[in-house]
């Protein structure tokens, strides 16, 4: 970044008529390894570097990006951004940003061993060994094991004097086993990722994870499907996080509220969940993604979205905060330097409560314990709050005890009604992120974290046979 003269870029944009200028420089590197059925199928590596320049000219926004980091290349991007902003005059919609404090900071997310310094043979050998471990369980017919390694450095600067430099490394391993029994095949997958260096890969018990996934796949292939109906359900943390992120989190994003496309629009100060539910969006949480500042230079702190059942806040970017007359919450995020920031979640989770897992179980006469291992996705509508999720392998609960394994379980309902049915929240808290994917919105993908404790929902519709 030292070879890019930030002050010179800002000065030129201002001379050309920009009232506001911000610059986002990014260096991104990603490695992906894939082993399928004991064969290394993929080892890919990509490196990308570029700069995005956003301007406001008389209230109209222009944006351009480039990978040509010579002065001539940058000048071309500035000229294009200015030209686009001027072209909107009289035709486009004016943009205004809520004021924020000037920030100057440099942060490197904690790590011990740079994953890109590790020999490729070492990574390949580990992944091959893990994949082979999956076949030590009888009836496993296919196995896929992946490793992902990410380096992401982002520098933000603006003509209000802000300069923020954040570097994040993210690593992880994913595994899927497919088992066959009684003529039926079932797949189970799981993964673990962490903002860390290669030390996480070296220290985590991947053999145990692979063995448990294969064992569960075999059990699922032999399992039946539960009868459809309304059940008391204990929801595992990864499903709580997914459900909150998809069905509630997107509805709490201020741009959806502003557009009238959120079930939460106009509900600030109202009860939207039971008193046991408190929902947080936070930039830095153990186990989640590392997001100390957003892509507009706003420091991301803890945002209380729901407090004891009452809706307290929407998530905002600087522009949406201005439109909604709220404070910026540090949720203006862009996939990379080629995209403009949108309102996005960071680490979205439910706060833990007071119950142990055993206490959650003991009050359930007939119900289900649902997990995310083997989940295949679902559908949500933030405008109405409806959701349908196919969850992973689950367990029947009878008289406070876990009984047989079941498969093919779906959860569906209205998210506000479901959250009002929460009658107990566990004292544990598990957060997850992923180096293999993230959250998609308007064609952009960003890394996120989500999670929560075990949660008991007194009544929810379960699909089965």
What does the alpha-carbon distance between residue 46 and residue 60 come to, in Å, rounded to a whole number?
35
Please check whether residues 96 and 195 belong to one and the same domain: yes
H-type helices in 46-119, by residue range? Answer: 71-87
Please check whether residues 203 and 104 belong to one and the same domain: yes
The reply to whether 57 falls in a domain is yes
- Picking from 47, 22, 202, 195, the residue whose alpha carbon sits closest to that of residue 108 is 195
Q: Give the CA angle between residues 429, 432, 436 to the nearest 5°.
A: 170
Please check whether residues 206 and 323 belong to one and the same domain: no
Give the confidence band of 379 by pLDDT, cuts at 50, 70, 90.
Answer: confident
Q: What token pair was written down for 409?
A: 């379980």
Please check whether residues 262 and 338 belong to one and the same domain: yes
pLDDT of residue 375: 76
pLDDT in tens, 204-247: 999 999 999 999 999 999 999 998 999 999 999 999 999 999 99
What does the alpha-carbon distance between residue 220 and residue 393 come to, in Å, rounded to a whole number?
7
What does the alpha-carbon distance between residue 177 and residue 189 come to, in Å, rounded to a whole number?
6
pLDDT of residue 91: 84
- Tell me what the pLDDT averaged over the chain comes to: 96
Residue pair 175/129 in contact (Cβ under 8 Å)? The answer is no
pLDDT of residue 372: 85
Number of domains in the chain: 2
The reply to whether 284 falls in a domain is yes
Domain end marker among 222, 238, 272:
222
Residue pair 305/312 in contact (Cβ under 8 Å)? The answer is yes
- Picking from 235, 291, 316, 252, the residue whose alpha carbon sits closest to that of residue 433 is 291
Percent of the chain residues past pLDDT 70, beyond the cut: 99
Judging by beta carbons within 10 Å of its beta carbon (0-12, 13-18, 19+), is residue 101 exposed, middle or buried? Answer: exposed
Q: What token pair was written down for 88?
A: 């909107």
Please check whether residues 217 and 263 belong to one and the same domain: no
Please check whether residues 235 and 338 belong to one and the same domain: yes
DSSP code for 136:
G
The whole-number average pLDDT for the span 19-46 is: 98
pLDDT of residue 464: 65
The reply to whether 314 falls in a domain is yes
pLDDT of residue 92: 81
pLDDT in tens, 417-462: 999 999 999 999 999 999 999 999 999 999 999 999 999 999 999 9
Please check whether residues 356 and 433 belong to one and the same domain: yes
The whole-number average pLDDT for the span 361-388 is: 90
Please check whether residues 241 and 125 belong to one and the same domain: no
Domain end marker among 222, 251, 277:
222
pLDDT in tens, 272-310: 999 999 999 999 999 999 999 999 999 999 999 999 999
Please check whether residues 444 and 361 belong to one and the same domain: yes
pLDDT of residue 381: 94
- Angstrom distances, CA of residue 101 to CA of 23, 276, 334: 17, 34, 20
- Angle between helical axes of 206-222 and 120-133 (0-180°, round to 10): 30
Residue pair 85/55 in contact (Cβ under 8 Å)? The answer is yes
The bridge status of strand 449-452 relative to strand 347-350 is parallel
pLDDT in tens, 50-104: 999 999 999 999 999 999 999 999 999 999 999 999 999 888 889 999 999 999 9
pLDDT at 377 over 80: no
CATH at 53: 3.30.2290.10
pLDDT of residue 2: 64
Please check whether residues 204 and 273 belong to one and the same domain: no
The reply to whether 1 falls in a domain is no
The reply to whether 302 falls in a domain is yes
Please check whether residues 193 and 233 belong to one and the same domain: no
Dihedral sign computed on CA atoms, order 317, 323, 324, 328: positive
The parent domain of residue 276 ranges over 229-463
pLDDT at 1 over 90: no
Please check whether residues 254 and 218 belong to one and the same domain: no
Q: Which residues pair with 450 in a beta bridge?
A: 348, 432
Total-model pTM: 0.96
What does the alpha-carbon distance between residue 252 and residue 419 come to, in Å, rounded to a whole number?
14
The reply to whether 205 falls in a domain is yes
Give the confidence band of 412 by pLDDT, cuts at 50, 70, 90.
Answer: very high
- Picking from 138, 137, 147, 114, the residue whose alpha carbon sits closest to that of residue 41 is 147
Percent of the chain residues past pLDDT 90, beyond the cut: 93
Domain end marker among 175, 201, 222:
222
pLDDT in tens, 161-209: 999 999 999 999 999 999 999 889 999 999 999 999 999 999 999 999 9
């Amino acid at each position: 970044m030292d070879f890019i003269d930030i002050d010179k870029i800002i000065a030129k944009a201002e001379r050309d008529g920009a009232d506001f200028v911000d610059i986002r420089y990014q260096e991104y590197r990603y490695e992906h390894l894939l082993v399928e059925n004991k064969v290394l199928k993929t080892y890919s590596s990509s490196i990308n570097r570029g700069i995005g320049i956003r301007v406001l000219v008389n209230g109209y926004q222009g944006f351009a990006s480039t990978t040509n980091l010579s002065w001539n290349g940058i000048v071309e991007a500035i000229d294009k951004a200015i030209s686009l902003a001027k072209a909107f005059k009289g035709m486009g919609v004016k943009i205004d940003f809520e004021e924020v404090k000037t920030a100057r900071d440099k942060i490197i997310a904690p790590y011990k061993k740079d994953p890109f310094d590790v020999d490729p043979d070492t990574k390949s050998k580990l992944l091959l060994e893990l994949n082979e471990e999956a076949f030590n369980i009888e009836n496993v017919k296919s196995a896929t094991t992946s490793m992902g390694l990410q380096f992401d450095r982002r520098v933000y600067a603006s003509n209000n004097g802000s300069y923020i430099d954040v570097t994040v490394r993210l690593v992880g391993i994913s595994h899927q086993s497919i088992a066959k029994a009684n003529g039926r095949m079932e797949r189970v997958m799981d993964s673990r990722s962490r903002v860390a260096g290669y030390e996480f890969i070296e220290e985590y018990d991947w053999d145990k994870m692979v063995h448990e996934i294969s064992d569960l796949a075999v059990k699922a292939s032999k399992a039946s499907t539960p009868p459809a109906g309304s059940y008391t359900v204990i929801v595992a943390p990864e499903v709580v996080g997914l459900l909150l992120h998809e069905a509630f989190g997107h509805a709490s994003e201020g741009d959806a509220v502003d557009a009238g496309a959120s079930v939460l629009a106009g509900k600030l100060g109202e009860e939207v969940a039971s008193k046991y539910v408190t929902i947080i969006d936070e930039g830095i949480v153990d186990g989640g993604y590392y997001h100390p500042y957003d892509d507009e230079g706003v420091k991301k702190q803890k945002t209380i979205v729901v407090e004891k059942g009452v809706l307290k806040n929407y998530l905002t970017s600087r522009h949406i905060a201005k439109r909604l007359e709220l404070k910026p919450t540090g949720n203006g995020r862009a996939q990379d330097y080629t995209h403009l920031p949108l309102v996005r979640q960071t680490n979205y989770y439910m706060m833990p409560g007071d119950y142990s897992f055993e206490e959650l179980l003991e009050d359930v006469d007939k119900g289900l314990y649902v997990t995310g291992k083997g989940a295949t996705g679902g559908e949500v509508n933030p405008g109405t709050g409806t959701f349908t999720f196919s969850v992973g392998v689950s367990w029947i609960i009878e008289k406070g005890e876990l009984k047989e394994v079941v498969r093919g379980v779906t959860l569906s309902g209205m998210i506000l009604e479901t959250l009002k049915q929460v009658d107990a929240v566990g004292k544990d808290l598990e957060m997850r992120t992923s180096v293999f994917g993230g959250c998609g919105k308007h064609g952009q993908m960003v890394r996120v974290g989500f999670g929560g404790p075990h949660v008991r929902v007194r009544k929810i519709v379960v699909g089965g046979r």
